[in-house]
Structure 1
């Protein structure tokens, strides 16, 4: 199938062709005709499948079929996203595909000055892409009127629920007219998504282009089992020995992201950290440097698990396993996009074995283990639940046994890797 067979206008087809695309992805081929028919949609698709164009193209087409309203233009399309990064990605998609059409779009999110956003809203805009918090602020301050919205999109709806946005979403919906077309996109189908879909959607067409809660087939997955104190050394070795040019590394905490990034820089690896405490400007600069190759490694918390639009990212590393198994699918979905091959590596210590078991239960298969990691072997098997914390001993009974001290990367009690990492390898 070609894009020309989907009923899109000449202006949209020109914009698509200028991006070098001829054939739609499966989600685009299924979603675009249904959306153009005016139907509500419940769509499940892995990241990297082209879902953003799957709803931006038909929405632009629907706007084009209507008369342009008088100034100031009312908001007719509202797209809600969980993160600033995803909001910017969708905004860029709208600009790219709508470049030959006379429509205005505005991205609304926190972390930046609100004044330019208010000024643009006064001018009038057809399409608003927003995170829920900043959107509600502008509504409550009377800077934004959603009473004439005709199309509502919830993008990465499962992530919005995970981040606690369900109340904000319901508040936003309360400001919308009841008669509208609703599109809900989600990478996974938790029970909460089904409940939200029942409340929001009217007789929806359900579209699914990948197994539910499944990892993309183009991503090869490996597990390295080792003690935690050796993770950073192994990571540096993999980057340098493999001459990796681009790797996205996930950690659990903001402090952990900053600490690991400093350690990698000490190892001679060009690196930046990305997490919620970074200003929007710092986050944009880090992403731009990662995309243009100025840095090799981007160390991120799960704020980056969704919405990062990086073409052909070859490597993703789970330095820490996520607490929620579904987040593993989102993380590794940053690689292996749009049919390209990718590699996802998880560095797992024995205390994370229960998290690995939950991930494999979700995937319904075991992730292959690397037999020889270069370090002493550890067991990651037969752990199905989180270990219970040990009872606190009286202070008088607490003793440190000889030989039980944790081994730091600089004072290893076990042999180091068989091949030494060279700092110059990552340059």
Structure 2
């Protein structure tokens, strides 16, 4: 494939967007020193070794499919795919043609068949293609890039002393980095591959020591990866497989200059996979700049709520919310764990305190906690030592805990994407879940987005919510275009 000459270039004219802290509050743009990217690099001065990136031989059962059957299969899987020379989706792990060692651990992990995103993304990635993957949370996308990365790495020359990683995975938060790291380590172990997790909040010295012996895979947040490259703890010269996970979230957190500078430092002919839950303008621009001839894979509608989650919207006064939660906690905890989202840290602390006074054991997770505290809280929740957690939006992404049966949006989310990700904390891995959203009369501007979220997954819209949404002029206009009273769902 030809090199992409615009790989990693910073767009100085890109739109300014408001960034939010981990509790969902607007913040001033970060100071230059906080997001100081890597300096530009001239790849023409570096002699790179050639490398192979196509390891895919379609299975006979797949290559013999007719075009009509492939179209039907993608429709069944809820996939929309475009790009040149598209590989067919598969229906079984055997179709990936993985070696015995990898197949053995996949079977041991009790996976029955590939998820829809895996069935299309894995063949494309094994074929060496660049990918834009747009998929809802809990879709199995982590393994859709981890498995092809392992196959890719095993074909490259072994690391020499001083070499950096072959595979680099960038993620927006510590929590998501740690989850990807756990999966990469679990499957990488069969090939004796070393994986290092690098994130802000962890010890820079410990992470640099872990890199000293060499690591085939680095999973990390953009800022910490840049720190470690600058202090020569690692380098990006050997990276030929680059993954950006939750790119939209990285942009929301103000990481665009860092992400672009890292992409710019990796050789332009690498293989790049970009995953995002949404495909907003800035992410689309990044994809155009850093990917070469990508295959775009969309599972479901962009920004669509998970159909395995039953959404219940309740309109009530602010003063009634706490009593409603207290009245229903016993019922919720009888079915599994419950995650309660509160927008602001102080309100989260107050709610957790109120529940504790009422003799409920409650965990609290918010953005001001240090890494050790966060890990302790998440571990307790994962082990079900405590099954009620009150959290700000720091937990809205990446928290992958199958036993969460109920999500309560005690406060509404700051935007519909955050709402979608919040409710995506339940209904994971094929399990059913319920998400309650407590809407107050002052939330009428957001109510229209909630109406559309329900309609998007074919759920009935309660009349009180629709009545509240109709108080918003933008929603009324979108609903009754042309003034004839005809309802239009956009």
Whole-angstrom CA distance in 2 between matches of 1:45 and 1:56: 16
Whole-angstrom CA distance in 1 between matches of 2:460 and 2:350: 29
- Map 1:3-402; keep pairs closer than 5 Å: 3-242=93-332, 243-361=334-452, 364-365=455-456, 368=460, 380-384=468-472
1:183 aligns to what SS in structure 2? strand
For residue 362 of structure 1, report the CA deviation from its aligned partner. Answer: 5.7
For residue 361 of structure 1, report the CA deviation from its aligned partner. Answer: 3.9
2:363 aligns to what SS in structure 1? strand
Q: Is the 8 A contact 1:224 1:348 kept in 2?
A: yes
1:8 aligns to what SS in structure 2? coil
Q: Is the 8 A contact 2:337 2:403 kept in 1?
A: no
Whole-angstrom CA distance in 1 between matches of 2:355 and 2:222: 35
For residue 71 of structure 1, report the CA deviation from its aligned partner. Answer: 3.0
Whole-angstrom CA distance in 2 between matches of 1:281 and 1:138: 21
Q: Deviations over 1:191-250 (max 9, x none)?
A: 222111111111101111211110111110011111112211111211124435411111
Report the TM-score, using the length of structure 2 for normalisation: 0.74
For residue 175 of structure 1, report the CA deviation from its aligned partner. Answer: 2.0
Whole-angstrom CA distance in 1 between matches of 2:243 and 2:331: 44
Whole-angstrom CA distance in 2 between matches of 1:147 and 1:66: 13
1:193/1:364 Cα in 2 relative to 1: closer, same or farther (>3 Å)? farther
Whole-angstrom CA distance in 2 between matches of 1:381 and 1:150: 49
For residue 291 of structure 1, report the CA deviation from its aligned partner. Answer: 1.4
2:201 aligns to what SS in structure 1? coil
**Number of matched pairs:** 383
Q: Deviations over 1:48-105 (max 9, x none)?
A: 1111011101110111122322234421111110110000000001011122112111
Whole-angstrom CA distance in 2 between matches of 1:241 and 1:338: 23
Whole-angstrom CA distance in 2 between matches of 1:378 and 1:170: 42
1:378/1:17 Cα in 2 relative to 1: closer, same or farther (>3 Å)? closer
Q: Name the residue aligned to 2:56.
A: none
Whole-angstrom CA distance in 2 between matches of 1:228 and 1:277: 25
Q: Deviations over 1:375-423 (max 9, x none)?
A: xx9962313269xxxxxxxxxxxxxxxxxxxxxxxxxxxxxxxxxxxxx
Structure 1, unaligned stretches of length 5 or more?
A: 387-427
Q: Is the 8 A contact 2:336 2:404 kept in 1?
A: no
C-alpha RMSD over aligned residues: 2.1
1:67 aligns to what SS in structure 2? coil
Q: Is the 8 A contact 2:162 2:234 kept in 1?
A: no
1:381/1:371 Cα in 2 relative to 1: closer, same or farther (>3 Å)? closer
Whole-angstrom CA distance in 2 between matches of 1:245 and 1:262: 22
1:383/1:196 Cα in 2 relative to 1: closer, same or farther (>3 Å)? farther
Structure 2, unaligned stretches of length 5 or more?
A: 1-90, 475-490
